[in-house]
Structure 1
Amino acid sequence: MLTDRQALLLPQIYDAAVAAELWPRALDAVAEAAQSKAAALLALDKIGQPFAIGEGSSCYNPEDLDYYRENLIKYEAEAWSYIQARPAGTIIFDVDIWPNTPELEQRPDNQWMMKKWGVLRRAAVRLNDSPGWSDSLTLQYCSSMKDIPREKAELMRVLLPHVAKVVELHRTFAILRSRYRAVLNALDHISIGVCVTSAHGDVIIANKEADRILRLGDGLSLGKDRRFLSAGSDAGAEIQRAIQQAILTVNSQANAPETLILVKRRSEVDPFLVEVAPLTDSVGELDRNLRAAIVFIVDPDNPRPFSVSNVARAFSLTEAEASVCRYMVDGLTDASIAMRRSVSVETVRSQIKSIHRKTNTSRRADLIRLTLSITPPIERLGEAG
């Protein structure tokens, strides 16, 4: 449960989704919520996407951070391996890795941090189990604090889903920025539906793919008030509730980092996959001081967005499993996949079971969501149709 103060800090954290320069402010909020002196975030892409975050609280100037990365971060190598081997959300303390505290304090990196920043003891956590990128959040405590009360570090646990979501959103916007100048215009180069709502829940921005999906009239549309409607189901109302929860979250009144919704279609093909997340934009990339929601809409019947090569690499799928995975996210039935691959249906079902086990998914919608998180569906220059 978020405390009132933690809830008030959420908008600062979500601002970093769109504006990279606001990460120090966001990490200040994390540090305050966890009652530490400072916080740092390291996120690196493992599959070749142009994405990386290496930021610290505002008390760390960029020159010092650069010096630390170039000369002292090597002493943390054992810690990063230790953290990445643990499940996401596991809070690790420095003494869990290096129990010899006097020796730890004398190490060159810690001596430098005490002298330069006045910090010593640390606690870190892996934010995401995705093998597509590694991301770790670290809290630093004043050097006068020889032992970190574990309950202090636990204060940050309630914020972890929000920080993880912001890193994921930031990744998409960072890749967009690397290929296109203006984020707003670049939304049309995301090949899944993207909508941005106002603070009242009505859609104010929709990219081309979202417009195409909503014009289909196949179970999901916009009403005259620009709010989501669904024919024959409660999904439209569910989406609006999720939007309101996202808006309340960025207004410090709720705790909803994301909501996933399946929307049944009149055509009875696979349902739309809708994800709703909070969004703020205090620097005006989309709309200055926006506090609302971003809505992603995936049409499984449209194969354009999906690329499974990075999923196959990240989760060590065999060549056969990668091929089956491709057909799965394209919407083919087990029998159709068997026919395409000239194998039995039983073989395909066995391979599907293995794919779900390796990727820790249980249904096709989860596999599609994983595919899109590993490789954001952003067209390259010249690819737009």
Structure 2
Amino acid sequence: MDNGTATRHPDVDHEALIDDIYAAGLGEQRWEAVLHSLRRNMGVRLVNLLTLDAGSPWLAPIAVAGDDDAWTASALQSYGTEFYRHDPALPIMHNWEVGHWLEDVHVFSPKQQARDIFQQEFMRVRGMEHWSALKLYQSGQRSAFVSFMGEWNAPPLTDAQRRTIAQLGKHLSRASQIGTRIQQLAAKALLAESMLEALDSPVFLLDADRQILSCNVAARTLMANQPTRLRVVHGRLMPGGCSDAAQWQAACISGLLSLQPTSTTGSEASALHFSVIPLPPNTQLARTWQRPLTLLTTCAVRSPAERMRRLLLVYGLSEAEACLCVLMCCDGLTPQECADRRQVSVFTVRAQIKSIYAKIGLQRHGDLVRLILSL
């Protein structure tokens, strides 16, 4: 255990610490390193960076820093398994305003603290006396806090220290929200990639600016083999012959992108044809990313099973609905013929057709046929 808690050091190196805070938010630095710096400079024993969801009964730690790793791990486990039930701050944390401080000495009298289970059986047993917490931000149902716990018989934080922490708290707030956003984007990319990897042919998932949000192995292989026609500039797809906005818009309207050969030999000798498929906003991928998306996939004669798999993965159709799409759009069967083929009532087929249109976001049969044939 170090002696960093013995003396207070209010002269924090703001510039270096702020750099570390944003590096932690971007994932280039460990949050624990930032909190250890705060702990040493404030002369406290434990610093926590925490989040709280409205429907959760306990605080979730983003990072925790104490003056002894084994002691810190033991305290964290004890809090998470038992003492969160007695934390006096939890019932009122949702009501704090951003930038508000809460300190035990301002909320509880000495007599109340002497009877408080959290104070007596959690903090004092572990050699801690005072606690303070600052609300960093509120985003929907989620809020974040930074808390400080001092050693036994140590004085509470001074006004100067609270002002310093409040100044740094603005950066902690921004950086932790950046970190949360990056984690959300990474999770979305992982979901999209796992869905697209199930498809054998090259598939690209693009946003409105043609940024490649995700693509499967086949697409990455195609880009490596076709660097001229499938150029990528700062993550943005800039196909040869379709690099400006007007050309791309025309491809989106027609639903077809053709990249002509750039040489008479080698891998770029033949034309490349792609289907350009805007994803309706209620599809699973569009709901995940919450933005307009376009699916770019190579045109080829595909088996009914391949088309069905794309409908299952991209549009979230049931197996029966995907099968019905193929029968109507590829085989040209009427609803009654589909019902006879599948040995179900025509009312069942019509109910499934209604569900298909709702899930895919289309209204006309012709649009559905064009979509299915482009998959």
Of structures 1 and 2, the larger Rg is shown by: 2
Band of TM-score, shorter chain:
0.3 to 0.5
> Which structure ranks higher in relative contact order (CA pairs < 8 Å, sequence separation ≥ 6)?
1
- Normalising by structure 1, we get a TM-score of 0.43
